[in-house]
C-alpha cells in the first residue's frame, strides 16, 4: 500500500476516531464534527430568521405595528413575499419622536428591467388596508423609477381600503423618467377605495395623488373609488389622481380634493389626470385649482390617442396655464383635446384663464384647444364674461358645440356624475351608517329625476343595506366583523344639454364600490359618559381611560363613524353638526384596545316668543298670597 493511500485508510473496529492529515498537520475529526453540529444549531448557521409576522387561517399576513410593516416590505423587496396577501389590523405611525421615517417603497423595483417599465420586484398580492391609516413617513430619496408607499404594483396586484398620509418630496432637477404617487409610483394592477392625505411633489417625472402612472402598454391598470386630499406639484405630467393614465387603462369614480401645481416646465396638469394616453377616465370629480403647466385642464391636461375616452366628469376648480416659453392652453374640462372622445362633462369652476397674449394661447370653458381628430358631445360650462367660449380654439368646429350655462341651470338641471359621499367607511359591529349618493353638479333635490334603479347586492353575512332611491341614501348595518366591498349600481340619466336640459332618454349605467370595514369592540378602555345626547350646534366631551392591565400604549386616537353628524377631535371633544346618530370610538395607537359610545343629535330648540317666561313669572306671583297667608297663620 502506498504511503498516500495509507493516509486515508480507515481501520475497522478501531477505538480511536479516524484522523485526517492536511499538509502534515494531523487533526482529529471529532472536534470538527462537534463544531459543525454546534454551528448547525446556532442561529448564525441558519439563513432564515424568526418570523415575527403572523398569518390568519387563510394565510393572510397580519400587520399591526411599524415593525410588522417594515418586515413585510423587506420580504416583498427580497422577492420572498412578492405575491403574499396582507391586511392591516391597526393604524400605523412610522415616525420616531415626531420625526417621519424615510420610507422605502413596497415593491421597490430595484432590479434593472426593460419589461414594460414595470420594475422588479413588484407587488402582486392583495394588500387590504381594512380602513386603517399609515402615516409618519416621508419619501425624499429617489429609489427605483417608481416611488410611493408602494413602488410598483404588478399584474394581479391589488391595494384596497388603505389610507396614507406620508409626504413625498423628491427634488432632483435634471432627472427624468421616474414616477411618484401617494399610493403607488407605477400601477399595472388595481388600486381601489384608497385615500391619500399626503402632499406629493416631484421634479423627476410623472406624478399623481394616487399613482404616478396607471398602466404600461400593453399592461393595463385600474384605479377606482379613490380620493386624493393632498396637493400635487409637478414638473412633467401630473394629476390629482394620476399623472398619466395609460393605454386601455381605467380611472373611474375618483375624487380629487387637492390643488395641482405645475412649474413653468410642466407639460400637462389636470384635476384628475395630467395626460390620458389612450385610456378611459369616467365618473370623476375635481374640486380644486389646477395651475401652471403648458396644457392645463380641470379634469385632464392632455388627451393624445384616438382610444381616449373622458366621460361623466365634473370640474369645480379654477384652471390656469402660464408658462413663459411655450404656447399655453387651458380648458375647464380638458386643456388640449388632441384626439379621442369627450362626452357628458361639465365645468362649473369660476375661472379658466391664461396669461400669454401673443396669439399662441387659448382658453375655453370646456376645452382649451380641440384637434381635428377629437370629438366633443353633450358638454357644458358655467358662462361668464371672462369664460365666454366653450372651446378656445379648434381645427374643426365641434358639432354640436358645448352649451353655456348659468348657475341656476346648473343647480336645478345639470347632472352628469354620481359619487358617494363616503367611499370608505368604518363601523363597529351592530352600528348603522348612512351613505348618500350625490348626483353632480346639481342640487340633491333633483336626485330622483336623474338617478334610477339603484341596487346594492348585500353581503348577507357581514352587512345589510337598505336603499332610499328617491333621496339617494343607502343605510348600512354592520352584522359581523370583517371587510366588505359593496357594489352600487345605478342608471344615470344625464342632462341632455341640447334638449332644454332634460334628462337623457338613454341612461348611462354606472357602478361604484363602497368599502366597509366592520370591527368588533376590543375593550380595555372606559369612556365617560357612556353615551351623549346633543342638539345641532352643541358640543360635548368624552374622556377615555385605559383600563387594560399592562397596556403599554396610552395614546388615544379618536374616530367618528359619521363626521357629517358628529365630529370629534384628538382630545375627545365632540361637535354636533346634523340630526342623526354617530358612533365615537377611542382606540389606543397600537390598535389593541378601544371603546365606543353613541352620540344622538337632535334639532335645535325652537325659539320662543317670550310667553313661556311670562307664564312662569305669573305663576310665582300667584303663589305669593298663599305664602303670606301661611306666614300669618
The tens digit of pLDDT for each residue in 274-322 reads: 999 999 999 999 999 999 888 999 999 999 999 999 999 999 999 998 7
Q: Which residues form the domain of 74?
A: 53-258
Identify whether residues 266 and 252 lie together within a single domain: no
CB 309 within 8 A of CB 278: no
Q: Give per-residue pLDDT as tens, 511-523.
A: 999 999 988 777 8
Whole-number pLDDT of residue 62? 97
Identify whether residues 279 and 253 lie together within a single domain: no
The residue from 201, 223, 258 where one domain ends is 258
Whole-number pLDDT of residue 561? 72
Q: Name the domain count of the chain.
A: 5
Q: Give per-residue pLDDT as tens, 586-614.
A: 888 777 788 888 899 998 764 433 333 33
Say how far apart CA 403 and CA 381 lie, in whole Å. Answer: 7
CATH code, domain with 394 = 2.160.20.110
Identify whether residues 269 and 242 lie together within a single domain: no
Using DSSP, state whether 38 is helix, strand or coil: helix
Range with the poorest average pLDDT among 89-93, 257-261, 620-624: 620-624
Identify whether residues 215 and 336 lie together within a single domain: no
Establish if 610 belongs to a structural domain: no
Rounded to whole angstroms, the maximal C-alpha distance in the chain is 144
Whole-number pLDDT of residue 591? 74
Identify whether residues 182 and 94 lie together within a single domain: yes
pLDDT at 48 over 70: no
Q: What share of the chain is helix, strand, coil (3-state, %, to 5)?
A: 10, 45, 45
Query: What's this model's pTM, rounded to 2 decimal places?
Result: 0.81
Whole-number pLDDT of residue 545? 92
pLDDT at 510 over 50: yes
Instruction: Supply 15's cell numbers.
Output: 477505538
Identify whether residues 186 and 226 lie together within a single domain: yes
Whole-number pLDDT of residue 552? 74
Say how far apart CA 277 and CA 214 lie, in whole Å. Answer: 10
Establish if 614 belongs to a structural domain: no
pLDDT at 629 over 50: no
Q: Give per-residue pLDDT as tens, 535-583.
A: 999 999 999 999 888 777 788 988 887 777 899 998 999 999 988 888 8
Identify whether residues 303 and 361 lie together within a single domain: yes
Whole-number pLDDT of residue 174? 62
Identify whether residues 529 and 503 lie together within a single domain: no
- Averaged pLDDT for residues 243-254: 96
The residue from 215, 241, 258 where one domain ends is 258
- Averaged pLDDT for residues 242-254: 96
Whole-number pLDDT of residue 27? 37
Identify whether residues 85 and 230 lie together within a single domain: yes
pLDDT at 30 over 50: no
Q: Which of 201-215, 588-602, 612-626 has the highest mean pLDDT?
A: 201-215
Mean pLDDT of the chain: 84
The label of the residue with cell 471529532 reads 30
Identify whether residues 387 and 459 lie together within a single domain: no
Q: Give per-residue pLDDT as tens, 337-378.
A: 999 999 999 999 878 988 665 555 789 999 999 999 999 999
User: C-alpha angle 149/150/153, rounded to 5°?
Assistant: 160
CB 214 within 8 A of CB 223: yes
Whole-number pLDDT of residue 319? 95
Instruction: Supply 604's cell numbers.
Output: 335645535
pLDDT at 400 over 80: yes
pLDDT at 11 over 60: no
CATH code, domain with 512 = 2.60.40.10
Establish if 623 belongs to a structural domain: no
pLDDT at 390 over 90: yes
Establish if 609 belongs to a structural domain: no
Identify whether residues 156 and 240 lie together within a single domain: yes
- Averaged pLDDT for residues 30-40: 42
CB 362 within 8 A of CB 393: yes
The residue from 258, 278, 300 where one domain ends is 258
Q: Dihedral of CA 300/127/189/513: which sign?
A: negative
Identify whether residues 101 and 162 lie together within a single domain: yes
Say how far apart CA 542 and CA 167 lie, in whole Å. Answer: 31
pLDDT at 156 over 60: yes
Establish if 414 belongs to a structural domain: no
Establish if 142 belongs to a structural domain: yes
Establish if 633 belongs to a structural domain: no
Whole-number pLDDT of residue 329? 92
Q: Which helix (H) or strand (E) holds 71?
A: helix 66-77
CB 122 within 8 A of CB 152: yes
Establish if 46 belongs to a structural domain: no
Nearest in space to 522 (alpha carbons), one of 435, 591, 432, 426 = 591
CB 183 within 8 A of CB 191: yes
Amino acid at each position: 500500500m502506498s504511503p498516500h493511500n495509507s493516509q486515508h485508510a480507515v481501520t475497522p473496529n478501531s477505538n480511536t476516531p479516524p484522523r485526517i492529515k492536511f499538509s502534515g498537520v494531523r487533526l482529529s475529526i471529532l472536534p470538527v464534527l462537534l463544531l459543525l453540529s454546534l454551528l448547525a444549531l446556532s442561529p448564525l448557521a441558519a439563513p432564515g430568521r424568526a418570523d415575527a409576522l403572523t398569518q390568519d387561517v387563510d394565510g393572510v399576513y397580519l400587520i399591526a405595528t411599524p415593525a410588522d410593516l417594515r418586515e413585510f416590505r423587506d420580504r416583498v423587496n427580497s422577492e420572498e413575499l412578492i405575491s403574499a396577501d396582507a391586511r392591516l389590523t391597526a393604524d400605523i405611525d412610522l415616525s420616531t419622536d415626531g420625526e417621519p421615517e424615510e420610507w422605502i417603497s413596497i415593491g421597490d423595483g430595484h432590479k434593472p428591467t426593460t419589461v414594460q417599465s414595470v420594475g422588479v420586484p413588484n407587488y402582486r398580492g392583495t394588500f387590504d388596508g381594512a380602513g386603517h391609516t399609515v402615516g409618519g413617513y416621508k419619501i425624499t430619496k429617489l429609489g427605483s423609477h417608481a416611488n410611493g408607499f408602494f413602488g410598483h404594483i404588478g399584474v394581479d396586484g391589488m391595494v384596497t381600503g388603505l389610507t396614507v398620509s406620508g409626504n413625498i418630496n423628491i427634488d432632483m432637477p435634471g432627472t427624468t423618467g421616474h414616477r411618484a404617487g401617494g399610493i403607488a409610483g407605477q400601477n399595472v394592477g388595481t388600486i381601489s377605495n384608497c385615500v391619500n392625505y399626503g402632499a406629493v411633489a416631484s421634479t423627476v417625472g410623472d406624478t399623481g395623488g394616487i399613482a404616478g402612472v396607471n398602466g404600461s402598454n400593453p399592461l393595463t391598470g385600474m384605479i377606482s373609488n379613490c380620493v386624493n386630499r393632498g396637493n400635487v406639484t409637478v414638473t412633467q405630467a401630473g394629476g390629482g389622481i394620476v399623472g398619466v393614465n395609460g393605454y386601455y387603462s381605467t380611472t373611474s369614480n375618483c375624487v380629487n380634493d387637492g390643488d395641482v401645481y405645475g412649474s413653468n416646465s410642466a407639460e400637462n396638469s389636470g384635476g384628475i389626470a395630467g395626460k390620458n394616453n389612450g385610456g378611459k377616465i369616467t365618473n370623476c370629480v375635481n374640486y380644486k385649482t389646477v395651475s401652471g403647466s403648458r396644457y392645463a385642464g380641470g379634469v385632464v391636461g392632455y388627451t393624445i390617442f384616438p382610444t381616449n375616452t373622458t366621460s361623466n366628469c365634473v370640474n369645480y376648480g379654477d384652471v390656469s396655464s402660464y408658462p413663459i416659453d411655450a404656447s399655453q392652453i387651458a380648458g375647464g374640462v380638458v386643456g388640449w383635446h388632441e384626439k379621442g372622445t369627450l362626452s357628458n362633462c361639465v365645468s362649473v369652476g369660476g375661472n379658466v384663464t391664461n396669461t400669454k397674449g401673443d396669439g399662441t394661447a387659448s382658453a375655453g370653458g370646456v376645452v382649451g384647444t380641440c384637434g381635428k381628430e377629437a370629438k366633443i358631445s353633450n358638454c357644458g360650462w358655467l358662462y361668464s364674461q371672462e369664460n365666454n367660449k366653450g372651446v378656445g380654439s379648434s381645427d374643426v368646429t365641434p358639432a354640436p358645440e358645448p352649451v353655456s350655462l348659468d348657475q341656476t341651470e346648473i343647480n336645478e338641471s345639470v347632472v352628469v356624475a354620481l359619487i358617494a359621499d363616503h367611499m370608505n367607511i368604518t363601523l363597529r359591529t351592530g352600528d348603522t351608517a348612512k351613505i348618500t349618493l350625490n348626483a353632480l353638479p346639481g342640487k340633491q333635490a333633483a336626485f330622483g329625476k336623474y338617478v334610477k334603479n339603484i341596487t346594492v347586492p348585500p353581503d348577507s353575512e357581514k352587512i345589510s343595506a337598505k336603499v332610499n332611491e328617491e333621496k339617494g341614501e343607502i343605510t348600512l348595518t354592520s352584522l359581523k366583523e370583517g371587510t366588505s366591498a359593496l357594489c352600487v349600481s345605478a342608471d344615470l340619466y344625464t342632462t341632455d344639454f341640447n334638449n332644454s336640459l332634460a334628462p337623457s332618454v338613454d341612461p348611462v349605467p354606472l357602478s361604484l364600490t363602497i368599502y366597509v370595514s366592520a370591527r368588533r369592540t376590543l375593550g380595555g378602555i372606559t369612556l365617560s359618559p357612556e353615551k351623549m345626547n346633543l342638539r345641532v350646534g352643541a358640543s360635548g366631551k368624552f374622556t377615555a381611560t385605559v383600563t387594560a392591565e399592562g397596556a403599554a400604549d396610552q395614546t388615544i386616537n379618536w374616530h367618528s363613524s359619521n363626521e357629517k353628524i358628529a365630529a370629534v377631535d384628538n382630545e375627545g371633544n365632540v361637535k354636533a353638526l346634523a340630526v342623526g346618530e354617530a358612533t365615537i370610538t377611542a382606540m389606543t395607537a397600537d390598535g389593541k384596545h378601544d371603546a365606543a359610545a353613541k352620540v344622538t343629535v337632535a334639532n335645535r330648540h325652537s325659539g320662543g316668543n317670550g310667553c313661556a317666561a311670562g307664564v312662569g313669572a305669573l305663576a310665582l306671583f300667584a303663589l305669593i298670597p298663599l305664602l303670606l297667608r301661611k306666614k300669618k297663620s
